[in-house]
Amino acid sequence: MIALASDHAGFLYKEHAKAVLKEMKLEFKDFGTHSAESVDYPDFAHKASESISKGECEFGILVCGSGIGVSIVANKHKGVRAAACESVTAAQLSRRHNNANILCFGERLVGWGVAEGMIRTFLSTNFEGGRHTRRVEKIHSLTSC
C-alpha cells in the first residue's frame, strides 16, 4: 500500500500520481488534501507518514511546492526515511543506498515527466543492502543528538 499526500501546491501532481499507481496496479491511500485550496502541508504529511511508521503502508509519496517541507515532517516519524528528490537518479539512489520509504518532491521544482519517472523508479528499485545496511541502521539508532 502506498501512502499519498500533498498540500495545495502539490495537489495536481498527487492526482497525476494516482493514475500512475493505478497503471502500475499498486494500491494506495490518499491522505489528502482533496482540492487546490490553501492548506498546511504538515497536516497531510503527518497522516501519511504515520501510516508508514505504523506499518499500514509500505511506501509513501508526498508532494508540496518544493518537496522540502513534507520531507522534514515525514522524517520526524519513527522508521521513516523520506528523501526529497529532484531527479530520477536521486530517487533511485534514495532506494538503493538509503532504503528510503517515502519519496518527496516539489510540483514547483520538477516537470511532470521527471516526477513520473521518479515515482516509477522509486517504487521499482530495491535496497542494495550490504554495506548500506549498517549505515541505514545508524539513522534510527540515536535517541538524541
Q: Is residue 116 part of a domain?
A: yes
pLDDT tens per residue across span 50-92: 999 999 999 999 999 999 999 999 999 999 999 999 999 999 9
Please identify which of the residues 57, 64, 85, 104 carries the catalytic annotation: 64
Residues 6+ apart with CB under 8 A from 109: 65, 66, 67, 86
Q: Is residue 144 part of a domain?
A: no
Phi and psi angles of residue 62, each rounded to the nearest 5 degrees, phi first: -120, 135
Let me know if 97 is a catalytic residue. Answer: yes
Are the beta carbons of 2 and 21 closer than 8 angstroms?
yes
Q: Is residue 20 part of a domain?
A: yes
Q: Is residue 145 part of a domain?
A: no
The three cell numbers of residue 5 are: 499526500
The overall average pLDDT reported for the chain is 96
Please state the separation of Cα 27 from the chain's center in Å.
15
Query: What CATH number is associated with residue 24?
Result: 3.40.1400.10
Phi and psi angles of residue 93, each rounded to the nearest 5 degrees, phi first: -65, -30
Let me know if 64 is a catalytic residue. Answer: yes
Q: Is residue 133 part of a domain?
A: yes
Give the pLDDT confidence score for residue 143 in this predicted structure: 56
Give the pLDDT confidence score for residue 140 in this predicted structure: 83
Q: What is the pTM of this model?
A: 0.95
Domain span holding position 76: 2-139
Number of domains in the chain: 1
Q: Is residue 50 part of a domain?
A: yes
List the one residue out of 132, 113, 115 whose CA is nearest residue 123.
Answer: 115
Phi and psi angles of residue 99, each rounded to the nearest 5 degrees, phi first: 50, 40
Q: Is residue 26 part of a domain?
A: yes
Q: Is residue 41 part of a domain?
A: yes
